[in-house]
Structures are given as C-alpha cells and as structure tokens.
Amino acid sequence: MGWLSALSDRIKAMMGFTVYQETGPGPGLAIDDPSIEMTRRAVGGEIQPIPVTQTRWYLRDLEQASAEADSGNFSRIGQLYRSCRRDGVLRGLIATRTDGIVRLPKRFYGSNPAIIERLRAKNGSRSVFDEMCPPGQLGALASDGLHLGFGLAELVPVVGRSYPVLHRLDPQWLQFNWGDCRWYYNSRAGRIPVNGGDGRFVLHLPYGPLHPWQWGLIWAVGRAFINKEHAEMTRAGFIAGVANPAKILQSPTGASEQHRRGIFEHLINWGPNTALELPVGFEGKLLEVTGQAWQTYQQEVNTCDNEMMVALAGQVVTTTGGTGFANADVHRLIRADLIKSTAEDLAYTINTQILPLYVEHEFGSEALEAGTMMEWDISTPKDLEAETKVLNGLATGVMALRQVYGDRLDVDEYASRFGIPLRVLTAGTPQEVGATPIPELASVPAPQLGPASTDEGASMRELDAAAQ
C-alpha cells in the first residue's frame, strides 16, 4: 500500500529531519511484518498489550518513575498518568484543555483548492478530516503530549476507503533507546521501531525531540494526585472513626448489675427510630467528637486541586467559579496562551505527519508543493470584535492617506503589519490589491493632512500623525 512507502525528501524536509537522524526501518519488526499482521488478525487488530494497572501510589513511586523515564522506560510513568485520569478535577481540566480545543473550528490553507475542498467535504455527519482524525483520538493524543511530553498514534487502514483512521496507542508501552536515539513500541507481537510520519506511526512531541518527558506536566500533576489520594483516604478513615457517637448509660447508685446490663444491651442495639424508656435514675447520652482535625486533610485536598488547576489551566479563579466565571467557555477556563500552545503543537504534528501523507496518497507527490496545512481557530468573540474594529479603522485611514500621498503609500506594508491576507496577483488580474476603494468606505471624508511635502522627515511625521 502507498501508506507503507518510504517518505520522500520533501516530506522529511517538512518534518524537520536533520542529516543525523536515522529514518530507516531500524532494528526490530516492521509495522507491516507478517507476524504482526497475523497477531493483529488474531486479536481484533490491536497491537498494544493489555494495560498494567497500579492501584496504590506513593511518592517513592514518582521518584522511581522519574529515574526509569530518564533511562528510556516509560512503563511506570504511563501507569501513573492513567491513574491520574481517575481524579474528577483533573479529568475535567484535561477535557477542557484538550478535548475542547480539538472541537474548535478548523481552518485549512494551501494553494490547491481541490485538496482543501476534499478535507472539508462531508461524509455523513463528519468531514473527511474528522473521519481520518477523530476528535476524541486527537484529544487523547494531545493530552498524552501535554502530560508525558510524548504521544503515539497509528494510522490504521480502513476497509472501503482510501484514507486511514487515527488510533491513539497507550504510551505505557513506548520506549526510547539512548543507544541509537530512537523510539520503539513494545507491541504484542514484539518490538517495533517508531518512525513518526512514515505513513503508519504519528509521534507527537510537543516539547521537542530531546528528552521531552522531562517537560511534561505529569511530575507536578502526579505529585498532587498522590498527595490528594492519601489525604482523601486519611480523611475518610478519620470520618469513619468519629461519625458514630459513643453511647453512654448513666446508672443511679444502687442499681443492680443485671438491670444495668439489660438497659445497656438496648443501647448497643441502637438503630433507626430507636425509642427507650429508662427507669427512674437512669440516663442515656451520646458522646460526639467535636475535633477539627479533618480540616487538615481537606486543606491538603484543596492544595492538590489548586496545583492541578494551575498546571493545566494556568489559573485558579475562573476554574473555581470566581470573577469572570459567568458564561464560561474554554477561553475563560484556560489561559489563552496555553490554549494557543496546545493547539499549535498538535497542528504541527498533523501538518507534518498526517496531512502530507494524505496529500501524497490521494493527489500524488506533486501535490505536496501546495503546502496543505490546518489550524484551529482559537480566537475569542472579543478578539474577533477587536479585530473587526482595527480593520475598519485601518481601511478608513489607508483610504484617507492614499488621497494625500497617492501611489507613494505602501499599502502592502500596512497589510503585513496588521496581518491582512493578500491574494497573490497573477497574469490577467485586472487591478492591484487595494486599488479599488471599499464601497461602504468610499464616502468617508479624508482628513485634512495638508499638501504632500517633499521633505522625507515631514512626510513621515504626517504619516505617523494620520495613522494615530
């Protein structure tokens, strides 16, 4: 199949391969080896082993995971990461940080409109891009990269269509070999070398290729998760010990032992809606513990929650419902620069390891020159409103300046400064970009800037005053 062919030099250049990096098959079984194909068919297509779960975590486990990760073994750190996702607070923050981003509107770019139209084309309820890269799988891959510093997925062929589907793989079984500085995946059928962008494997490295696991959030999140688990268990044990009050029977002087025992048995068997009639002189009481030691455990839980919030959201106030929480969305819950970094990192992986292979397979190697790319639109409604005001003001100002300075005004310079996309002019284009005034702004009177001056310094001062 075309997906199993070696990458062209063009794709390697797009991915940023250096001249020192090995891109060959490497030692071990190839992804299309017959033994792996046989194992796939025997187990329903999955190549990842059964997950190994650890249910109790201690800080010494975090230290051991750090040492093992630096040696290239990510088994323990992968188990800790999966355990952390059991926490409700962390799970909600991850969903907002990653799943919320991959469901934002997408933009496609490229000089070949046919490729863009194909990616946007609807196939049932989803686009071709979403069929190839399901949002849930992309969100999980982004979360892996965010917490561990790396993530791995596979492009699996699909019966009845020409493009594959992205399957995220458990990072617990990923391994880095310092001997040849290459990644390997310990599958059910054996050790497989991982070549990101080879048409089958997608290796997500948001922090770069040099020991990315050291920059993941798992070290801060994992410590907070372990401390929170112990605080919650200790708090539960404390509550269980003091929740049931002690029962006291106060007997009068001279009461017989048999009489006291009979009444005391009724107190021991205390249940719902219990009613007792005590003889004269007898008194029943409940002794409840009024200590506040449980607050210490609750404070520890709150501290751990705050650490998770700051690590993932970059803030605490809006997460806990403070100022600005009304009508909250992903842009208010997560700091804007963190949204941008996660979206750009994931888009880079897609643009270098998925879309080039799709374009090459569907349209041929020549179509790679079209430079097909995608990105998520992370603009907030407030940002869009501000951008609209700036563009309207810029258009008014440029029209006024052109009436004074004519063709000496460099409109393209303003377009570049404010990030206005301009279409490349080709032969036969009737007019230059910006030559035709915008109809709704044509009637705006030009400001009186005075006659054009031949003095360069005076002209620049007049231009700056008009821009302001």
pLDDT at 437: 44
- Categorize the per-residue pLDDT at 402 as very low, low, confident or very high, splitting at 50, 70 and 90: confident
Residue 447 scores a pLDDT above 80: no
Average pLDDT over residues 377-394: 74
Pseudo-torsion of CA 227, 228, 230, 236, nearest 10°?
A: 160
Residue 9 scores a pLDDT above 70: no
Average pLDDT over residues 113-135: 84
List b or e across 169-205, with b for residues whose CB sees 16 or more CB atoms inside 10 angstroms. Answer: bbbbbbbbbeeeebbbbbbebeebbbbbbbbbbbbbb
pLDDT at 228: 92
Summarize pLDDT for 250-284 with one digit per residue, the tens.
787 777 787 777 777 777 777 676 777 777 778 77
Pseudo-torsion of CA 270, 271, 274, 278, nearest 10°?
A: 0
Summarize pLDDT for 29-75 with one digit per residue, the tens.
778 788 888 888 888 878 888 888 898 999 999 999 999 999 999 99
Other C-beta atoms lying within 10 Å of the C-beta of residue 256: 9
Position with higher pLDDT, 288 vs 322: 288
* 273: Cα separation from own chain's centroid: 53
The secondary structure of 410-427, three-state, reads CHHHHHHHCCCCCCCCCC
Q: Coil, strand, or helix at residue 450?
A: coil
- Categorize the per-residue pLDDT at 1 as very low, low, confident or very high, splitting at 50, 70 and 90: very low
Distance CA 313, CA 90 (A): 10
Beta strands per DSSP E along 290-405: 373-376
Residue 134 scores a pLDDT above 50: yes
Average pLDDT over residues 173-182: 91
List b or e across 397-427, with b for residues whose CB sees 16 or more CB atoms inside 10 angstroms. Answer: bbbbbbebbeeebebeebbeeeeeeeeeeee
- Over the chain, what is the mean pLDDT? 78
pLDDT at 417: 76
- Categorize the per-residue pLDDT at 82 as very low, low, confident or very high, splitting at 50, 70 and 90: very high
Summarize pLDDT for 148-166 with one digit per residue, the tens.
999 999 999 898 888 999 9
Distance CA 249, CA 279 (A): 12
